[in-house]
């Protein structure tokens, strides 16, 4: 057991500090504290020894030098069962420190508040991380706490063991402290070397049953210092635990759903949209989304950006689905879906979805990693070009925008036929854009949907006019594509021959 007789407290975040300090005092623990922590304890009437009194050295350089002293680090590093260390403690008049309570300068907060480089630099903590490193190295003899969230567990352990802490608990706190240290230093390194370094500190949130296949292990992680958000914070109201593939599909569904502010329904299968509907109500949006590919909806994921009501739930109740995502489920809707014991009902923060930050996407390759910014937004709608003789009608233009949004979330080569209410046929992941077009046409035919008067969105340019000719034969009357092919003139001529209105956006949305 590790008896707690002397504690050093040095915290920027003083949440629950006095609760901890009063409890330590009740156990007869000697309190040493630095700067503002010492003042807070003294003002609370607690006996406290300032660090400068303990070390015999005054604070210097506006507080930059406080805890960097042999009496501090000697007290933290001394091995109580090592004869040499014990002799050195006696020789240099050092006292053991059994408990270190530290949290670091708020570097991340300064960064988030867009402070000046000088102000951010001043929030690089030196003494705190140095003491934590020492305490973690000597965690068999020193307990280290780096978060107020640990205080209650620590005090329960202290009370249970009548003033001592077990080595196992100390070891766990030490490992947690070093994770804090690595995450803190990674943030500093990223700021100092934005073009050369990318440190990513991740906390394991939970193990998953398996990965893409049963023989693969998998887990869900979140960034260590960021608050839980998105799918990590989503509330599962019912159903089985989420799997690796479920999470990928749910992320794809929410990524596409977040592009819409109108009442929308998105259906995803294998991270690919197989139906999108815009309606005046959730049930209408669901009806439209299901029209595109009702067969693929089987075993898929449905996401809505409006509360799911009883009527919408009834429409979905006869379909086998893995997940339904919505900002809210009414009590009546939950009753309708209660018979589906395995169906996961998940709520998410709609405001957070619409305001979500751009995140860095990371993918492994042999020997390294690829990293890119997320494909965010559609600024091209401020600078598009109508390149054909005929301009799109208002209805065609609304459909072009919807199809373009969906195409961004479809695996390349992506072809999407749509009208202003939703998708009609989706062609994804084919090696040829013509094949994707044929596939989208087959999907529409299988669903009994006519493409006459539809629009077509293509995530990249048409390299030849054959794709445009095929779209015209399908019955589409307007096309949106990035442009940029050496044969753009040929494709534009084909569009004019078919009286098709065509827009060039100048921006590509490949999704590999």
Catalytic residues: 137, 270
* Cβ contacts of 266 within 8 Å, gap of 6 or more: 253, 256, 257, 273, 275, 276, 289, 302, 303, 304
In b/e form, how buried is each residue of 251-275, taking b as 16+ CB within 10 angstroms? Answer: ebbbbbbbbbeebbbbbbbbbbbbb
Q: Where are the alpha helices (DSSP H) in 339-425?
A: 350-354, 394-408
* Cβ contacts of 233 within 8 Å, gap of 6 or more: 227, 349
Structural contact between residues 166 and 157, judged by C-beta atoms closer than 8 angstroms: yes
CB under 8 Å, gap of 24 or more: what pairs does 154-157 form? 154/20, 155/20, 155/23
CA–CA distances in Å: residue 391 to residues 271, 381, 387, 504: 34, 15, 8, 12
Structural contact between residues 437 and 427, judged by C-beta atoms closer than 8 angstroms: yes
- Lookup: tokens for 225: 């210092």
Q: How far apart are the first and last CA of the chain?
A: 55
Structural contact between residues 361 and 381, judged by C-beta atoms closer than 8 angstroms: no
Angle between helix 70-77 and 83-91 (nearest 10)? 160
What size, in residues, is the chain? 512
The residue among 171, 172, 147, 143 whose CA lies nearest residue 158 is: 143
The residue among 258, 437, 238 whose CA lies nearest residue 340 is: 238
Phi and psi for 338 in degrees, rounded to 5? -65, -30
Structural contact between residues 479 and 501, judged by C-beta atoms closer than 8 angstroms: yes
CA-CA-CA-CA dihedral for 48, 49, 51, 55, to nearest 10 = -160
* Cβ contacts of 65 within 8 Å, gap of 6 or more: 57, 59, 127
CB under 8 Å, gap of 24 or more: what pairs does 469-474 form? 469/494, 469/498, 470/434, 470/437, 470/438, 470/441, 471/437, 471/500, 472/498, 472/500, 474/417, 474/437, 474/441, 474/444
Which residue, chain included where needed, has tokens 């004019």?
A: 496
Structural contact between residues 278 and 285, judged by C-beta atoms closer than 8 angstroms: yes
- Lookup: tokens for 422: 């939703």
Distance between CA atoms of residues 503 and 346, nearest Å: 38
């Amino acid at each position: 057991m590790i008896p707690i007789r002397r504690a050093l407290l040095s915290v920027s975040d003083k949440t629950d500090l006095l609760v901890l300090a009063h409890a330590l005092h009740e156990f007869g623990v000697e309190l040493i504290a630095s700067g503002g922590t010492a003042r807070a304890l003294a003002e609370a009437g607690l006996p406290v020894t300032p660090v400068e009194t303990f070390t015999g050295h005054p604070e210097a350089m506006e507080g930059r030098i406080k805890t960097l002293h042999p009496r501090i680090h000697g007290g933290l590093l001394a091995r109580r069962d090592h004869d040499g260390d014990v002799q050195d403690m006696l020789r240099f008049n050092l006292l053991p420190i059994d408990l270190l309570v530290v949290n670091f300068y708020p570097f991340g907060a300064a960064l988030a508040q867009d402070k000046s480089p000088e102000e951010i630099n001043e929030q690089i903590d030196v003494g705190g991380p140095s003491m934590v490193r020492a305490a973690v190295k000597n965690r068999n003899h020193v307990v280290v706490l780096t978060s107020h969230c640990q205080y209650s567990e620590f005090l329960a352990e202290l009370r249970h063991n009548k003033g001592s802490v077990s080595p196992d608990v100390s070891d766990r706190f030490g490992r947690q402290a070093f994770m804090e240290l690595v995450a803190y230093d990674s943030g500093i390194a990223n700021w100092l070397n934005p073009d050369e370094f990318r440190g990513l500190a991740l906390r394991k949130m939970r193990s998953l049953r398996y990965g893409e296949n049963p023989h693969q292990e998998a887990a869900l992680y979140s960034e260590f210092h960021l608050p839980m958000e998105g799918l990590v914070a989503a509330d599962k109201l019912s159903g089985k635990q989420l799997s690796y593939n479920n999470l990928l599909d749910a992320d794809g569904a929410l990524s596409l759903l977040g592009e819409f502010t109108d009442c929308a329904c998105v259906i995803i299968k294998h991270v690919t949209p197989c139906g999108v509907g815009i309606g005046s109500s959730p049930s209408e949006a669901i009806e439209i989304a299901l029209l595109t590919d009702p067969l693929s909806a089987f075993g898929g994921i449905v996401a809505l950006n409006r509360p799911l009501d009883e009527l919408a739930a009834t429409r979905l109740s006869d379909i086998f689905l893995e997940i339904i995502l919505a900002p809210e489920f009414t009590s009546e809707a939950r009753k309708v879906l209660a018979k589906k014991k395995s169906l996961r009902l998940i709520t998410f923060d709609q405001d957070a979805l619409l305001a979500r930050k751009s995140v860095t996407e990371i993918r492994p390759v042999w020997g390294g990693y690829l990293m890119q910014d997320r494909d965010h937004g559609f600024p091209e709608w401020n600078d598009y070009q109508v390149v054909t003789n005929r301009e799109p009608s208002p209805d065609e233009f609304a459909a072009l925008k919807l199809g373009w949004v969906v195409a961004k979330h479809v695996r390349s080569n992506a072809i999407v036929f749509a009208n202003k209410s939703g998708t009609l046929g989706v062609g994804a992941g084919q090696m040829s854009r013509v094949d994707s077009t044929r596939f989208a046409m087959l999907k529409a035919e299988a669903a009994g949907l006519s493409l006459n008067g539809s629009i077509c969105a293509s995530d990249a340019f048409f390299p030849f006019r054959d794709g445009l000719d095929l779209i015209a034969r399908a019955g589409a009357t307007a096309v949106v594509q990035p442009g940029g092919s050496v044969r753009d003139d040929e494709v534009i001529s084909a569009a004019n021959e078919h009286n098709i209105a065509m827009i060039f956006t100048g921006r590509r949305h490949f999704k590999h």
